[in-house]
Structures are given as C-alpha cells and as structure tokens.
C-alpha cells in the first residue's frame, strides 16, 4: 500500500493527549467502559432478540404485528452494532481482553464477520480517514459518489434522491457477497497476517458463522412459524433495511460532509503540506447533536465522532466530558471543530454534499 504523508505527532497531538490523560487520572477513570456500557448489553440485545423469540415461540402470531417486530429488531440490531460491538472491537468495552473478544462476536450474531470489520474500520478507516482508495467507508458502488476524487458519472446527478435506498442495503451486503470478497482481498493485501490468522482459518470461521446466522434467522422461522417463505424474507429484508439506514446515516454524516476534507494517497485535495494524524482526524470528521443524551446513548457516543477518531481506544461513555477538552485545545491551536447542532441538520448537509458531488 502507498501511504499519504502523515507526521504522527505534533504539539497539538501531545497537548491534547496530555490533557485527556490528566482528566482520566484526576477523576480516577479507566479508558474502558463502566457499568453504563454493561447495562446496554441486556437492553440492546432484548430489543433485538425479544421480538425474535416472541415470534418463534408463537406468542405473537398476528402478521402485521410480526412485521412491526421486524422493524424493532432492525432498531435493536443497529443499537448493538453502535453501542456494544463497536467498543468491543476497538478493545474499549472492557479492561478484560476476553470480554472484549466475546462482545466482538455480537457482529456474528448480526450476520457480519468481526475480523473483516476490524480491518476495514480499525485499520483502514481510522488510519486513512477520507483517503481515496484507502478508506473503504467512502468507496462505493458506481452509482454513488462520496468523494471529489471519485470519477464523475452522469447518474450521480440523481444520487441525492436514491442514495438512502442503497444505504438500506448496507448490512444485507455483509450477509451475502461483501464479507467473502473482503476476506479474499485482505488476504491478497497481506492484512490477514497482521491479524495473526490465515486465509483458510478465517474462511472456515466465516462460512461457519454464516451457516449459524442463516439457520437461526431464516431456517428456524420457516420451520416453526405459521408464515410463508416470502413473509420470512420480507421481515428479514425490513429488519436489515432499517438497520442499514440507521448505520449509514450515523457514519455518513460524520465524514461525508461539506466541511470535511477529502484526500488522495499523495496528500490533500486542496493542500499539500504535512499534517499530524490528530489534525487529519479533525479535518475529516464531524460531530452532531452532542446535547442529546438519548441519542448519545443509542448511537454509542458516535455523535461524538471527532473524539472517537482521536481516542478510539477510549470507551464512548467518556466522550461527552472529553469533548470539552478537545474543543478547548482545538480552539487554542486554531483548528476547526466540525459540529452540527442536530442530527437532522447533519443529514441535510450530507445530502447537500451528495448533490454537489453529483453535479461536479
């Protein structure tokens, strides 16, 4: 791989890290999650699994109510990914590595593959945020254009109208082809070796996890529930579509925004100077609706995306307090702190950028 030029540290980085470390020590806090994140486990899994068991065991048999249950499962599915799986795969859920490992497998319960997720998210996205051909989060099918560095097509003029529809297929893509394609690509790029595994071992785990997922999510409902095959598939689709919409908008408004910078492997699109890793994160990331504790709780603090990118190994339960330190330090060094007051405003501006990129 070719790396863009990022000096790993500067005065801003050192000052910010020092302040955050002092805050944690002064308040006798660990970098990991606490009782608040542990409480999320039964709550979020209940939101996802309780509707499933109510339908499988015949407690709920009305088809319209079943349809509503699949919608709730989609909300719960997104909540598990945002609030539990995310911290666990960053090693920030608990100080115990074994507990982080167990919680990381919540990705498999949702139908994904945590090894692929760690490579795509932890290694590529966090190291090369908004870098063309490096950050897979801004790569997409040819119908969507998330960066000015992606070649423009005529169909992109309409992406502001249809992008949300493709967002709904995000997790459905994991279920089918994406996990297998990613694993093969990561093996060719030597990224599996860095994760201390082999292609054969990882592929065996992937196939086994998919078999288990489709067994409990498709086969079991078909065998025990009084529904047709198309009703099961419709419910499965609705659950994933809702989850995909939620996940996509949470992450898209954090990076694909009018004020965030987009880069190439050789440097910035509009600048060509060396930049520290911390400044890189500040310039490519945005926050939204930090005043809302309910939203913060549900999305696992990912409305504090700036703080997450600066301190990915710190649990999201600490982000609201840390954000004050980040704002003050950024202001001290004249660095912009990208923020949208509401989630709705952030989505509006994301769509505005999609429209601009579609016209380019």
**pLDDT 10s per residue in the chain (360 long)?**
333 445 567 899 999 999 999 999 999 999 999 999 999 999 999 999 999 999 999 999 999 999 999 999 999 999 999 999 999 999 999 999 999 999 999 999 999 999 999 999 999 999 999 999 899 999 888 899 999 999 999 999 999 999 999 999 999 988 888 999 999 999 999 999 999 999 999 999 999 999 999 999 999 999 999 999 999 999 999 999 999 999 999 999 999 999 999 988 776 554 545 688 899 999 999 999 999 999 999 999 999 999 999 999 999 999 999 999 999 999 999 999 999 999 999 999 999 999 999 997
Query: CA-to-CA distance for 102 and 96, rounded, in angstroms?
Result: 10
Is the residue at 211 inside a domain?
yes
Is the residue at 1 inside a domain?
no
Is the residue at 231 inside a domain?
yes
The pLDDT score that the predictor gives to residue 229 is 96
Q: Evaluate whether 11 touches 333 at the Cβ level (below 8 Å).
A: yes
Find the helix packing angle between 179-188 and 199-214, rounded to 10°.
170
Is the residue at 258 inside a domain?
yes
Residue range of the domain that includes 198? 6-359
The pLDDT score that the predictor gives to residue 272 is 45
The pLDDT score that the predictor gives to residue 7 is 56
Is the residue at 129 inside a domain?
yes
The pLDDT score that the predictor gives to residue 141 is 82
Q: What phi, psi does 189 have (nearest 5°)?
A: -85, 0
Which ranges constitute the DSSP H helices of 256-299? 277-284, 293-298
Q: What phi, psi does 29 have (nearest 5°)?
A: -110, 145
Which phi-psi region, left, alpha or beta, contains residue 301 (left: φ > 0; alpha: ψ -120 to 50)? left
Give the count of domains, the chain: 1
Is the residue at 186 inside a domain?
yes
The pLDDT score that the predictor gives to residue 302 is 97
The size of the chain, in residues, is 360
Is the residue at 22 inside a domain?
yes
The pLDDT score that the predictor gives to residue 2 is 38
Which two tokens mark 276? 């520290």
Q: 281 by DSSP, 3-state: which? A: helix
């Amino acid at each position: 791989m070719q790396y863009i030029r990022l000096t790993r540290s500067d005065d801003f980085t050192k000052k910010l890290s020092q302040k955050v470390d002092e805050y944690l020590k002064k308040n006798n806090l660990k970098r990991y999650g606490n009782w608040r994140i542990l409480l999320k486990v039964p709550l979020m899994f209940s939101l996802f699994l309780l509707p499933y068991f109510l339908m499988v065991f015949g407690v709920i048999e009305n088809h319209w109510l079943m349809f509503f249950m699949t919608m709730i499962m989609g909300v719960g599915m997104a909540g598990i990914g945002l609030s539990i799986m995310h911290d666990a795969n960053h090693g920030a859920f608990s100080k115990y590595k074994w507990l982080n490992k167990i919680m990381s497998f919540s990705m498999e319960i949702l139908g994904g593959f945590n090894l692929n997720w760690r490579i795509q998210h932890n290694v590529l996205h966090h190291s090369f945020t908004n870098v063309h051909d490096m950050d897979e989060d801004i790569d997409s099918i040819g119908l969507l254009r998330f960066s000015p560095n992606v070649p423009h097509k005529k169909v992109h003029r309409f992406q502001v109208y249809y992008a949300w529809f493709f967002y709904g297929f995000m997790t459905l893509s994991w279920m089918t082809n994406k996990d297998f394609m990613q694993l093969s690509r990561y093996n060719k790029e030597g990224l599996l070796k860095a994760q201390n595994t082999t292609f054969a071992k990882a592929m065996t785990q992937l196939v086994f996890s998919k078999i288990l997922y489709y067994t409990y999510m498709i086969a079991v409902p078909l065998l025990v529930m009084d529904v047709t095959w198309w009703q099961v598939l419709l419910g499965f689709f609705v659950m994933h579509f809702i989850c995909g919409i939620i996940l996509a908008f949470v992450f898209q408004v954090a990076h694909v925004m009018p004020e965030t910078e987009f880069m190439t492997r050789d440097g910035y699109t509009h600048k060509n100077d060396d930049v520290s890793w911390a400044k890189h994160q500040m310039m490519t990331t945005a926050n939204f609706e930090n005043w809302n504790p309910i939203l913060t709780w549900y999305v696992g603090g990912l409305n504090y995306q700036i703080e997450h990118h600066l301190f990915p190994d710190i649990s999201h339960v600490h982000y609201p307090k840390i954000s004050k330190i980040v704002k003050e330090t950024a202001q001290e060094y004249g660095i912009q702190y990208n923020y949208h007051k509401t989630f709705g405003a952030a989505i509006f501006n994301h769509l505005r950028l999609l429209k601009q990129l579609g016209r380019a």
